[in-house]
Amino acid sequence: MRPVTEKPHAPTAPEAPAAQLARTAARLGGYALASRLLGLLRDMCMAWLVGSGPTADALAAALRLPHALRRLLGEGSLSMSLTAALVRHCRPDTAAGRSYLAQVGRALAVRLGAALALLLLLAVAAAPWLATGLAPGFAGPERELAVFLLRLCLPYGLAACMAALGTALLHSLGLFRLPGLSPVLFNVVALAFAGAAALGLCPPAPALTLGMSCAGLAQWALLWWGARRALRRPGPTGASLGGAAAALSETVVAAAARSAPAPAPVSAAGAAAWRCLAGTPAGLLGACAPQFCLLAAAALASGLGAGLGAGLYYAERLLEVPLGLVGACLGTASLPALSRLAAQGRQADFAAALRTALRLTLLLSLPAVAGLWAVGAPLVRALFCHGAFDAQAAQTAWLMLAGFLPALPALACNRSLLAACNALGQERRTALSALAAVASTLAVGAALVHSRGAGLLPLAFVPPLAAGVGLWLQTGFLLRALAVALGRAGAANAGAVAVSACLPGWAAVLRHGLAALVTGLAARGLVLLTEGWPPGSGLAVAVSGGAVAWVMGLLLLRDGDMLALAAHLRGRGVLDSVRETRGTAPRR
């Protein structure tokens, strides 16, 4: 097993874009996987404790705003924007810059904390109106319960923003391990409150909402402890990094350091803090589209019948697992390289890097769609159908999940497209794409609700399908913004690149689609063959069989990424066997 602290590697030949992105995303995905699994366990506890019905609907409505903030802030949108600003203004790769970064960080904490505390007080006072906006179909005791639960979990918004600032400070120093592990702490604290509710120490719904606020405060405390400790250390932090984390740090620092001014006097730290905050709203609004579309879908679900709001909540939780492992990790891994290449005017390399990120996203997201279609229904029953969560609630959650599946590739690809547009300075167009996505979600949702009398669709399909249409529309807007930005950049540098050069080739998309189809058919066949088995055994067989079918399909189709991975694994196997023969194999 590798030690925690590694010595810096000697310079080597540049790694291929696909290998570098895959390696970086795998590192980040390891942290995300642990967090998602614990989050799934937390949601299983919620389903067991409150099940489905008016109480579950009120709880899901109250948790929707904190979850939207967690996806927006905890998954890197705010922290990446702040990281770029901090590196540009503070130059933390120098000793003076590290000292100035500590001053700007304190100034940011004071200003951001004061503004957020004021917003929190206003939100607590306006909780009845917020609950109406989140769930306009609620009335009577259900609405009162939603207002009470919303007030309990609103402090999470303050904690999430401050935690994002701590993440930005650590990222600007080139430290990625603690921000990656902090969501694990969040889920552990939330599970502790769920355990208290299961033991009868407190009512389930208030315990779960209060647990979210306390978990956010714990995450904030951990990140700020790490940031303060890192800023006290003298000298650059590069020696404490290894592998992909070092590559990410070096690309971010190098891209900004070339054009950054020398650190300003201490008295200018406050002005620098305001400059860092000024550039974040436009980028955040563009990244808000998935959260706003899901909020619009939840508003539609609240007026369609009891149990649909909770079903939508559980479907989203299942959808977060592949999204966190594919879209968020690849978007985070590709942003530094895209920003560096855009700043240098290397349009061809920029297009190649984005094409690699999108190709890897489709490579992983398409089999996730097929696999969830094949095993979704038994997966929902196995995970959630316990205690107060009955078979009807499981069927509703499965229908909601099935309605979300067509939007999964758009959700995953939009992270890399947003990174590319922001790298090219297209924040205004990304913000407009978010507004268009939300407007289309509401319009399509209203049309589908109106058509339900004709029996065209089950009610549970309406909210997720409407959100999917909005997200695919945002994909189109982002591609249009990318085409405009590339055209302008090419005209300025006499090297225009078409937007088609940024997209994966049709042959690769066809290979990935065929492999995903084989995956879905194999997993579905195994689900039918293992019907009647214990739920865990049948699911394990179906998931394993689908994964094997996906790998074999890609190998038979001679997919370049899968062949490169197979060659890499074979090379490592040969190297390890040689080391074992010589008695120098590394300890595992």
Whole-number Cα distances in Å, 288 to 103, 160, 352, 436: 30, 15, 27, 12
Is residue 477 within 8 Å of 431, Cβ to Cβ? no
Question: What integer pLDDT is reported at residue 236 of this predicted model?
Answer: 46
Residue 518 has pLDDT above 90, yes or no: yes
- What is the reported pLDDT for 23? 62
The angle formed by the CA atoms of residues 295, 299 and 303, to the nearest 5 degrees, is: 160
Most trustworthy range by pLDDT among 265-269, 424-428, 526-530:
526-530
Give the confidence band of 585 by pLDDT, cuts at 50, 70, 90.
Answer: very low
Between residues 415 and 27, the one the model is more confident about: 415
Q: What is the mean pLDDT of residues 227-231?
A: 84
Query: How much is the pLDDT for 366?
Result: 92
Q: Which has more confidence, 175 or 559?
A: 559
Residue-level pLDDT at 460: 80
Q: How far apart are CA 497 and CA 360, in angstroms?
A: 21
The rounded percent of the chain whose pLDDT value lies above 90 is 10
User: What is the separation of C-alpha 370 from the centre of its chain, rounded to a whole number of angstroms?
Assistant: 20
- pLDDT at residue 261 is higher than 80: no
Asked whether 22 and 362 are in contact (CB, 8 A), the reply is no
- Position 520 scores a pLDDT of 93
- Give yes or no for residue 583 having a pLDDT over 60: no
Backbone dihedral angles phi then psi of residue 539, each to the nearest 5 degrees: -65, -40
434 pLDDT band, cuts 50/70/90, is confident
**pLDDT number for residue 233:** 67
The 10s digit of each residue's pLDDT in 380-411 is: 888 877 766 777 888 888 888 888 899 899 98
- pLDDT score of 521: 94
- pLDDT at position 513 is 93
pLDDT at 562: 81
Q: Regarding predicted confidence, which is higher, 452 or 225?
A: 225
| Percent of the chain residues past pLDDT 70, beyond the cut | 74
In order, the DSSP letters of 478-544 are: HHHHHHHHHHHHHHHHT----GGGGSPPHHHHHHHHHHHHHHHHHHHHHHHHTTTS-HHHHHHHHHH
Most confident stretch, 345-359, 451-465, 510-524: 510-524
What six digits make up the tokens of 210? 């209060």
Q: Is 261 helix (H, G, I), strand (E, B) or coil?
A: coil
**277-291, 301-315, 370-384: which range is least confident on average?**
277-291
Task: Give the model confidence (pLDDT) of 461-473 as tens digits.
Answer: 888 888 899 999 9
Q: Is the pLDDT of residue 453 over 70?
A: no
Those residues whose C-beta lies under 8 Å from the C-beta of residue 496, and which sit 6 or more positions away, are 347, 486, 487, 489, 490
Mean of pLDDT values over 264-280 = 65
pLDDT at 502: 86
Residue 169: its H or E element: helix 155-172
587 pLDDT higher than 50 = no
The winner for highest mean pLDDT among 56-60, 171-175, 317-321, 471-475 is: 471-475
Q: What is the mean pLDDT of residues 132-161?
A: 84
Range ranked top by mean pLDDT from 39-43, 185-189, 268-272, 331-335: 185-189
- DSSP codes, 73-134: IITTHHHHHHHHHHHHHH-TTSHHHHHHHHHHHHHHHHHHHHHHHHHHHHHHHTHHHHHHHH
Q: Which of 70-79, 120-129, 504-513 has the lowest mean pLDDT?
A: 70-79
Nearest to 362 by CA among 164, 155, 165, 505: 505
Orientation of helix 391-404 relative to helix 462-493, angle to 10°: 20
Sign of CA dihedral 444, 445, 447, 453: positive
Question: What's the pLDDT score for residue 472?
Answer: 93
Residue 255 — pLDDT band, cuts 50, 70, 90? very low
Mean pLDDT of the chain: 76
Greater pLDDT, 248 or 558: 558
Q: Determine which of 19-23, 475-479, 507-511, 525-529 has the lowest per-residue pLDDT on average.
A: 19-23
Q: Looking at the predicted structure, is the pLDDT value of residue 275 above 80?
A: no
Distance in angstroms (rounded) separating the CA atoms of residues 375 and 316: 16
